[in-house]
Structure 1
Amino acid sequence: MQVSFSKTYSMPSSSHRPLQAQKKTAAVGPPIDDVRLSEAANPKLKSFQPNHSDIYKSALRLSATLASLNIPSAIAGGLAVTAHGYQRSTRDVDVVLTPDGLEKLQTEGLGRGISERYKGSRNLKDTISKVDIDVILTTDKPVAVPHPETSSVTNPDGLKVLSLPSLIELKLSTASPERKKDIKDVSGLIWANELDADFAALLDPSVRERFLELVEAEKNRWA
């Protein structure tokens, strides 16, 4: 399957190589990380209209606590999907942290509206709303979880969420027959953001083919 590289995203000429192998000094255009965090790559983020549910409020409180502790973080899961334009329900908050960030949160952040889900658990609970908070670590395997410090964008409420390219990569890398909702989420994001094959240039090569298949499926569905 051929990937079409669009000038819409002002990609560097080296964008056909794996993301890890790119050298910013050799790029003709903006560094790929900058492009992935740009408004063009996250078209629906600024128009996000929150429903101010308990889950969303929990995410805002969590994000504020993490920021006050200087812990890099990014909201993932259903809230991030919704923030990028595809409205769907969710029952919890998913947050991406580094192992060091989680350790700091456990030592300095517990008791500030956050508690362990149960003793010794890395997952948390909002003590005000009782909403569950699931922690995704950057070291989780076998998928490559994006680093929150270089993969997050901020919505109008100040909530840091994974950028659209990073969110799609994470969804496609974790998709399985048991997790059909990940594919549904990506299809919904393609539809909501009117993404086409050119967007594949922003994604890691490991997920491009699957993304292009979903783009084609969405195109056929609405033809």
Structure 2
Amino acid sequence: MMSILVEELLQLVAEFNDREIEFALCGGLAVAAHGFTRATQDIDFLIREESLERAYEAAAKVGFDIRGLDMSFKERTVEIRRVSKIVGEDVISLDLLLVTQHVEDVWEEREWKEVEGEVIPIVSRNGLIKMKRQAGRSQDLTDIERLENEAG
């Protein structure tokens, strides 16, 4: 049985594909897609800034219509736009990470992997390591260790 998060992911992928919005799955679900299971509460997409408005429209189509505050970290090297939806008693967030010059190479090196029968673009293992080094939270450091040391 598919998790609610994966179901939401696949709905978002379908909407983004319908609108021909380029994206790459990153964050905890991308770590999982590389073979390292871990709990995560949100969905993270890397997208180009020029796709942002269309991404909001696609997300709203499947219920992600609660806009969060724009977030900037590390002197604007990381730019995040959050939209959320309520599913039962849970809040699920979609974090749209904008491609900045600091992750342009990560964007260029994205791969395609199968998730529940759907082939989707995903940040490469090395790209995830780079993004997680930039973020530097404790969960990111744990993910880096696993991505570097284990064959996924």
Q: State the TM-score, normalized to the length of structure 2.
A: 0.75
Equivalent residue, structure 1, for 2:123:
162
Aligned partner of residue 134 in structure 1, secondary structure? strand
Aligned partner of residue 53 in structure 2, secondary structure? helix
Gaps of 5+ in 1: 1-50, 195-223
Relative to 1, partners in 2 of residues 1:184 and 1:154: Cα closer, same or farther, differing over 3 Å?
Answer: same
Say what the alpha-carbon RMSD is for the aligned residues.
2.6
The correspondence for 1:77, drawn from 27, 46, 52, is: 27
Does the 8 A contact of 2:109 with 2:127 survive in 1? no
Show the 5 A alignment for 1:108-123: 108-118=57-67, 122-123=81-82
Which protein shows a greater Rg?
A: 1
Q: Could you list the structure 1 runs, at least 4 aligned residues long, displaced by more than 3 angstroms after superposition.
A: 119-122, 126-130, 145-150
Work out the percentage of aligned pairs sharing the same amino acid.
Answer: 25
CA displacement 1:192-218 (0-9 Å, x = unmatched): 317xxxxxxxxxxxxxxxxxxxxxxxx
Show the 5 A alignment for 1:93-132: 93-106=43-56, 108-118=57-67, 122-126=81-85, 130-132=91-93
CA displacement 1:136-170 (0-9 Å, x = unmatched): 1112x8x4355646523222532322111211111
User: For residues 97 and 120 of structure 2, what CA distance do their matches in structure 1 show?
Assistant: 17
Gaps of 5+ in 2: 71-80
Equivalent residue, structure 2, for 1:57:
7
More strand by share: 2
Does the 8 A contact of 1:98 with 1:147 survive in 2? no
1:86 CA drift (Å): 1.3
